[in-house]
Every structure is written in structure tokens, then in C-alpha cells.
Amino acid sequence: MTDAPDIRVGDAERSQVLDDLSEHFASGYLDVNEFDRRTQAAVVATHRSQLEALKADLPQAHVPATRSSFAADQELDRLVEKGEKLKAIDAAIGIVTTILFFLGLFVFSWSHFWLVFPAAAAVALGARLILGIDDDEEELFDELSEIQKKERTERLRIAAQKRKELGR
């Protein structure tokens, strides 16, 4: 036993242990009950020894990065990039369509002003074909975007709560 005092831990250390436990759970080193018990203990841990005890019997290098996981990460990054481009294109299509609709209806009195909507749909479909995004990929991108929004909202909520606690 060392003479060093047991050091208190903060959110960052607890978060790292929760990430490590999640990786071990996903790799099959922990069952659901053990994972639940250890994560609950990690959330309320106040000292480094408590956190270390939660990982003491788990292997250090439990899941090496594989080539397939690296390729999947790259593919996911490409999907996010294409999804962001598609989102910008869709916004531009919506703006142009709205402008053309009102110009055609009120300014130029086009008899076929409604044709801007099928044309907009065709352009949007063409953008998806050019970018190579199918319905499943677009749905996955939307899910990822929603998750990112929720995570950002939660981070901001926590920051606001901490600011309030500090009296700022």
C-alpha cells in the first residue's frame, strides 16, 4: 500500500471509466447486470481508488482497432459529409422554389406556376443520385444528426446548470 492520499475524481475521470466499461461490455467482458452495477458505482464514485476497483479485473487492451472498424469509420465520415452537402442543397432548393412560386404566382402571373414543385422534386432527386445517397443512408444521416443535436443540447443544459450553480 502506498502513502499517497486517495485523490478525488471529477466528471472527466468518471466519464472515462464509463467509456471504458462500455467498451468492455460491448466486447463481451461484462454481462448486463455487471455492467449496470459498475456504471452505477462509477457515477457516484468520489475517489480514484473507487474507479480503479471497477476496472481492476478487466484486461487493459481488450479490443484492438481492426481494419474493418477503421473502414467503417471512414465510410461513416463520408456519409456525414455527403449528408451535410445534401442538407445544404435541399435548403437551397427550398428557397429557390419558394421564390419562384411567389414570383410566378404574383409578379409574372404564370399560368403554370405550380410546375416549380415537380421541378424542385426532380432537382432534389437528382442531387441524391449525384451524391449517391439512398433512402437508408439518408435515414441514417438524419438519425446521426438528431443524436448530435440531443448531445449538444444536453451539453448546453449541463453548462447552464453549472453556470447557475456558480452564480454567474
Q: Give the residue from 130, 127, 140, 97 showing the smallest Cα distance to 115.
A: 97
Do 41 and 71 fall within a single domain? no
Q: Is residue 92 part of a domain?
A: yes
Q: Is residue 16 part of a domain?
A: yes
What is the pLDDT, as a whole number, of residue 3?
A: 54
| Chain mean position to CA 92 | 24
Do 51 and 76 fall within a single domain? no
The dihedrals phi and psi of 77, each to the nearest 5 degrees, come to: -60, -40
Q: Is residue 1 part of a domain?
A: no
What is the pLDDT, as a whole number, of residue 1?
A: 45
What is the pLDDT, as a whole number, of residue 125?
A: 97
What is the pLDDT, as a whole number, of residue 61?
A: 56
Q: How far is CA 74 from CA 69, 80, 133, 141, in A?
A: 9, 10, 16, 14
Name the domain count of the chain. 2
What is the pLDDT, as a whole number, of residue 67?
A: 53
Structural domain span for residue 113:
67-166
Q: Is residue 62 part of a domain?
A: no
pTM: 0.54
What is the pLDDT, as a whole number, of residue 60?
A: 78
Q: pLDDT truncated to tens, each residue of the chain (168 aa)?
A: 455 668 899 888 898 898 888 888 888 888 889 988 999 999 999 999 999 999 999 887 544 545 556 778 888 889 999 999 999 999 999 999 999 999 998 899 888 888 999 999 999 999 999 999 999 999 999 999 999 999 999 999 988 888 888 876
User: How far is it, in rounded angstroms, from Cα 116 to Cα 98?
Assistant: 9
CB 62 within 8 A of CB 23: yes
